[in-house]
Amino acid sequence: MIISVASGKGGTGKTTVAVCMALAAEQCQFIDYDVEAPNADIFLKPEIKNIKKVTIKQPYFLTETGKSFSKCAEFCHYNALAVISSEVMFYPELCHGCGGCILVGPEGAVREKDVEVGEVTKGFTGPGIDFLKGNLTPGSMRTTTVQNDLEKMIKKKDLVIIDSPPGNSCSMVMSVKNSDYCVLVTEPTPYGFNDLVISMEVLDMLKISYGVIINRDGIGDSNVEDYCRGKNIKLLIKIPNDVEIAKCYSKGGTLLDYDVSYKAKFQNILKEIEGLCSKKP
Partner 1 sequence: MKLCITSTGTSLDSNVDPRFGRCPYFIIYDTDSGTFESIENASRQAMGGAGIQAGQFIASKEVVAVITGNFGPNAFRVLQTAKIKMYSGISGTVREAIEKYKSGQLTETSSPDVESHHGMGRNS
Residues that bind partner 1 (CB under 8 A): 73, 78-84, 87, 89, 91, 94
**d(Cα 49, Cα 240) in Å, to the nearest integer?**
36
* Cβ-contact 247, 231 below 8 angstroms: no
Q: Which CB sits closer to partner 1, 30 or 90?
A: 90
Q: Where are the beta strands (DSSP E) in 40-109?
A: 47-61, 81-84, 87-90
Beta carbon of residue 191, minimum distance to partner 1 (angstroms, whole number): 18
Using alpha carbons, select from 220, 180, 186, 217 the residue that is nearest to residue 200.
186
Q: Which CB sits closer to partner 1, 81 or 185?
A: 81
Beta carbon of residue 87, minimum distance to partner 1 (angstroms, whole number): 5
Beta carbon of residue 240, minimum distance to partner 1 (angstroms, whole number): 37
H/E element, 149 = helix 143-151
Q: Which CB sits closer to partner 1, 89 or 103?
A: 89
Beta carbon of residue 186, minimum distance to partner 1 (angstroms, whole number): 24
Q: Which CB sits closer to partner 1, 84 or 243?
A: 84
Q: Which CB sits closer to partner 1, 17 or 136?
A: 136
Beta carbon of residue 144, minimum distance to partner 1 (angstroms, whole number): 15
Residue 41 CA, chain-centre distance (Å), reads 14
Using alpha carbons, select from 44, 51, 50 the residue that is nearest to residue 125.
44
Beta carbon of residue 84, minimum distance to partner 1 (angstroms, whole number): 5
Using alpha carbons, select from 63, 56, 55, 59 the residue that is nearest to residue 76.
59
190-206 vs 223-231: helix axis angle to the nearest 10? 30
Q: Which CB sits closer to partner 1, 80 or 174?
A: 80
* Cβ-contact 33, 162 below 8 angstroms: yes
